[in-house]
């Protein structure tokens, strides 16, 4: 199974888009996204220095645009991607790239949202000097205790051996001076305490914008940073994108879901290296590919073909006569008592729960519909994204948030 991932802020490097702009198609697409975002992305991706592209209001649109346009270079059409990719995920702002890639948002919607996200987070960061630092190594419980003692928030859980702390500059200094045993505290190239309460003003701005955005349900499996679950609903994903600005990034749980799904290959969109590096330490046996330059595209396409398995793809919202409800996570499925084939379900009806050692997650028929067929039985073990129930959409359950055709 193939996973496609998009990096978050801090992955950007001066000049990283320069080799891509030799392709006039890439240049034209980037120019269009520049017009949408109101930023000269070609300049920022080729000529701007490191300090300039560290600015949150610039870095975030630049990263999302780079991921979207390079994905179009890798997959010659969206249909190719939908047939070959088993799961998609993004780290922090990379979630906007991922959401657009699977059809939840259009590229234009993603660029407007990331432009406003970047501006709002930059403004929130300017209220008080804040930053982030990666804590490398050590025992997890000792690292978390030291972060809490310094008054910081564990903003990113990036798997074994790396937790990112966020808070005020003074709190970061306290952590550096009281680093846990066998750890290194490394300041990050970001301009604020992202994924903490310091971003509350940005959340308020995005909540208002989100009320005017029409979404579509994901075409293939999409993992979300809050809990690593497979997201079924476009509107749910949009609300999660808004809340994510203040919530910790649980990339460790996203990787757990990839492992549960049986991912064999992970390819990271430009500027690549951060997430594939984390995967090498945490997803043993999974082959990785960091796509950074266009001369790597032939090898990247071979990598995609080698790991693509049409049998693992799930068309969650692309069929004209029915819709799948899929499992959000790994565990044991327990069906809601009394549901039978032919029953008409209202929007948001709970069809059961998926339980594991960590949590018990309710499974909802978000858009409702009539039960056509159960794909599992009560108490069956299930994996993330596994179909549970097939529904027939009804007129009452059809609206602009759907992508069924």
Say how many CA atoms lie within 13 Å of 184 toward its Cβ: 5
| CATH 3.40.366.10 segments of the chain | 2-122+197-312
CA distances from 25 to 4, 98, 182, 288 (A): 22, 21, 49, 27
Query: pLDDT tens-digit profile of 325-337?
Result: 999 999 999 999 9
- Tokens at 87, concatenated: 């799961």
CA separation for the pair 6, 92 (Å, rounded): 9
| CATH 3.30.70.250 segments of the chain | 125-187
- Give the pairing type, strands 183-187 and 323-326: unpaired
CA separation for the pair 75, 86 (Å, rounded): 14
- Please give the helix or strand (H or E) that residue 90 lies within, else none: strand 87-90
**Which of the residues 34, 37, 70, 92 is marked catalytic?**
92
Query: pLDDT tens-digit profile of 25-35?
Result: 999 999 999 99
Q: Residue 333: exposed, middle, or buried by beta-carbon count in 10 A (0-12, 13-18, 19+)? A: buried
Query: pLDDT tens-digit profile of 127-137?
Result: 999 999 999 99
Query: pLDDT tens-digit profile of 284-333?
Result: 999 999 999 999 999 999 999 999 977 766 555 554 457 889 999 999 99
CA separation for the pair 2, 89 (Å, rounded): 11
Q: What is the pLDDT of residue 310?
A: 73
CATH H-level superfamily of 125-187: Malonyl-CoA ACP transacylase, ACP-binding (3.30.70.250)
Contacts of 27 (CB under 8 A, 6+ apart): 21, 42
Query: Could you say which DSSP state residue 223 is in?
Result: B
User: Model pTM greater than 0.85?
Assistant: yes
92 catalytically annotated:
yes
CA separation for the pair 208, 370 (Å, rounded): 33
Q: What is the mean pLDDT of the chain?
A: 92
Q: Which residues pair with 26 in a beta bridge?
A: none
Q: Which long-range contacts (CB under 8 A, 24 or more apart) does 395-398 make?
A: 396/368, 397/347, 397/367, 397/368, 397/369, 398/367
pLDDT of residue 397 exceeding 60: no
Q: Which of 12, 136, 23 is nearest to 66 (CA)?
A: 12
**Which of the residues 91, 157, 195, 198 is marked catalytic?**
195
Alpha carbon 188 to chain centroid, angstroms: 20
- Angle formed at CA 29 by CA 24 and CA 33, multiple of 5 degrees: 145
Q: Which of 113, 364, 348 is nearest to 230 (CA)?
A: 364
195 catalytically annotated:
yes
Q: What is the pLDDT of residue 321?
A: 59
**CB of 197 closer than 8 Å to CB of 112:** no
Cα torsion 207, 211, 217, 220 to 10°: value is -30
Helix (H, G, I), strand (E, B) or coil at 164: strand
pLDDT of residue 110 exceeding 90: yes
Q: Radius of gyration over alpha carbons of the chain, in Å? A: 21
φ/ψ (deg, to 5) at 329: -160, 180
φ/ψ (deg, to 5) at 37: -85, -15
Order of strands across the sheet that contains 249-250: 183-187, 130-137, 162-168, 153-157, 249-250
Q: What is the pLDDT of residue 82?
A: 84
The residue ranges of DSSP E strands in 235-295, in sequence order, are 249-250, 265-268, 287-290
CATH number listed for the domain at residues 2-122+197-312: 3.40.366.10
Q: What is the pLDDT of residue 354?
A: 97
Say how many CA atoms lie within 13 Å of 204 toward its Cβ: 7
CA separation for the pair 346, 250 (Å, rounded): 32
**CB of 124 closer than 8 Å to CB of 151:** no
Q: Which of 68-72, 108-112, 190-194 has the lowest mean pLDDT?
A: 190-194
CA separation for the pair 338, 373 (Å, rounded): 14
Q: What percent of the chain has pLDDT over 90?
A: 86
The residue ranges of DSSP E strands in 199-252, in sequence order, are 221-222, 249-250
- Tokens at 12, concatenated: 């950007």
CATH number listed for the domain at residues 323-397: 2.40.50.100
CA separation for the pair 290, 287 (Å, rounded): 10
């Amino acid at each position: 199974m193939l996973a496609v991932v998009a990096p978050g802020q801090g992955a950007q490097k001066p000049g990283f888009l320069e080799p891509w702009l030799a392709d006039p198609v890439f240049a034209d697409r980037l120019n269009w996204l520049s017009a949408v975002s109101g930023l000269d992305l070609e300049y920022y991706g080729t000529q701007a220095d490191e300090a300039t592209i560290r600015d949150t209001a610039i870095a975030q649109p630049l990263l999302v645009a780079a991921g979207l346009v390079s994905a179009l270079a890798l997959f010659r059409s969206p249909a190719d991607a939908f047939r070959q990719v088993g799961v998609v995920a993004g780290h922090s702002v990379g979630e906007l790239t991922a959401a657009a890639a699977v059809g939840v948002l259009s590229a234009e919607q993603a660029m407007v949202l990331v432009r406003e996200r970047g501006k709002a987070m930059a403004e929130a960061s300017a209220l008080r000097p804040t930053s982030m630092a990666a804590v490398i190594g050590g025992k997890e419980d000792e690292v978390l205790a030291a972060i809490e003692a310094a008054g910081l928030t564990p903003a990113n859980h990036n798997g074994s051996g790396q937790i990112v702390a966020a808070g005020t500059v003074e709190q970061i200094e306290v952590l550096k001076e009281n680093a846990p045993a066998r750890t290194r505290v490394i300041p990050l190239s970001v301009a604020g305490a992202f994924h903490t309460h310091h971003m509350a003003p940005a959340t308020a701005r995005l909540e208002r914008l989100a009320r005017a955005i029409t979404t579509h349900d994901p075409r293939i499996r999409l993992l979300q940073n809050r809990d690593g679950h497979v997201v079924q609903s476009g509107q749910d994903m949009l609300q999660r994108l808004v809340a994510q600005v203040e919530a910790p990034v649980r990339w460790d749980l996203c990787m757990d879901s990839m492992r549960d799904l049986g991912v064999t290959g992970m390819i990271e969109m430009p500027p690549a290296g951060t997430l594939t590096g984390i995967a090498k330490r945490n997803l043993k046996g999974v082959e990785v590919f960091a796509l950074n330059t266009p001369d790597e595209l032939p090898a990247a396409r071979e990598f995609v073909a080698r790991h693509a398995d049409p049998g693992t793809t799930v068309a969650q919202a692309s069929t004209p006569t029915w819709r799948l409800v899929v499992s959000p996570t790994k565990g044991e499925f327990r069906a809601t008592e009394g549901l039978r084939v032919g029953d008409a379900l209202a929007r948001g009806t709970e069809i059961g729960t998926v339980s594991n050692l960590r949590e018990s997650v309710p499974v909802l028929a978000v858009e409702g519909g009539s039960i056509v067929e159960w794909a599992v039985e009560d108490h069956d073990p299930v994996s993330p994204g596994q179909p549970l129930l097939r529904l027939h959409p009804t007129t009452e359950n059809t609206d602009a948030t759907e992508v069924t055709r």
